[in-house]
Structure 1
Amino acid sequence: MFRDQESNTFVGHENSIVINPRTRKGFSSTAKERKTKPRRNLETIDENRTVHSEVEEDTFFKKQDHNSKERIRRMKISESYVALGSLLPISRPLKKRWTAPVIVDKVLEYIPKLENEIEQLTIKKNNMLSAIENVPSLINKKSINPKVDSLTVSVNKVKEGQLIFQICRQGDGKNNVFSSLLRCIVKEEGICLVSASTLHVCDERECYHIHIEVRMFFFVYSFSFSILSCYSYY
């Protein structure tokens, strides 16, 4: 009797397990969800990795572009400093290259000296221009020796910065004019006397041959003015 009850209970329990469709459906859906969740997680991880790699790549290219532009900017600044340093007067060859702060200090020291030099040259130029303007009035003065009319001057350019003056005048047997003219040349700043000689063409004419070196062009006018000034007193 007990065996029959146990068998019936077992059969009934088995039938209840087999017949219940909800339990079977629940088991199958849970298994599917377990299988699909890892796939979704892997896809999400792959997407995150792709986005992260793209961001890193974009950041890398931006950094490279910035470094390249910064390198070019520094090269231009360095070239500007070198060009600025080349304008400075150097008394002796440099053992090592000047740094940017040294170049700036040298420039600040040189600017006042350069301004002073420009001011002095401007004063000299104005004096020369004033002397040139007075040349016609000097020639037209009645106090000038009439022998000026017989004075001829020719100028020949030997090379850049060097000139040869040939002066012919009516001779009077005196060398005072020539010696006075040489003294005027020596006193003139910016004019260097290379050579000088005299030649007596005849009893009435004599020629002076003067080779000079000039640093600035307007000194030639000063030299011409010196010729007339020296000759006018004899």
Structure 2
Amino acid sequence: MWFFNFCKSSIGRKFFMALSGLLLLAFLAVHAFGNAAIYAGSKYFQFYADFLHNFPVLVLLASVGLGSVLVLHIVLGLSLFLEKRQRTGRYEVYARLTENTFASRTMGYTGLFILLFLIIHVTTFVFAPGSDTPISVVVMERFSSFFFSLFYLVSFIALGVHLNHGFFSMMQTFGFNHPRYDKTISVLTVAVPVAFLVIFGGIPLYFMSGAGASFMHH
């Protein structure tokens, strides 16, 4: 009974929100590592994609698990966002004020924008391509569009803003709010989003700048 009461409480929802965020962050790290192959050229990126397709069962299980974690994160996020707007108090787990930062004020909005991006991303690169169309070709075709690349760039900026507050909030929820950790957390709160922004955001810039014109030749 205590577990269900904990899950329904604000603290419990924040804990599972942070836990799901940590799992999604781990996925982003792996995904970023794989997508970085784009900078090496189509041959290397296609090799990465084909390698994943050699393990369809594992990919399916990982996709279902990831989707479940994402849904949980979204539901909890919306619940906490709406609850926050209905009250004037502070988060119980925060040790210092963070309500006035741009990232904290826009968490709900950047989250919804990222959800829109994910829907477009999945329909574009997972369900849309034909079975006989190499993913490297699809990447080249899609990112050849300036506005498609621009949308991706804006989406990754939104992701960076979301992670900026999300990472800090996650650390606070897990109890890393001692003064001895403040400097490290402050650095990571900036470094983690910037790292993802450089890797992911660099992809549309790679094509928008014209450097991606050689993508299919490597």
* TM-score bin, normalised by smaller chain: under 0.3
What's the TM-score once normalised by structure 2's chain length? 0.27
Greater percentage in strand: 1
Normalized against structure 1, the TM-score is what? 0.26
**Greater RCO structure (CA 8 Å; 6+ sep):** 2
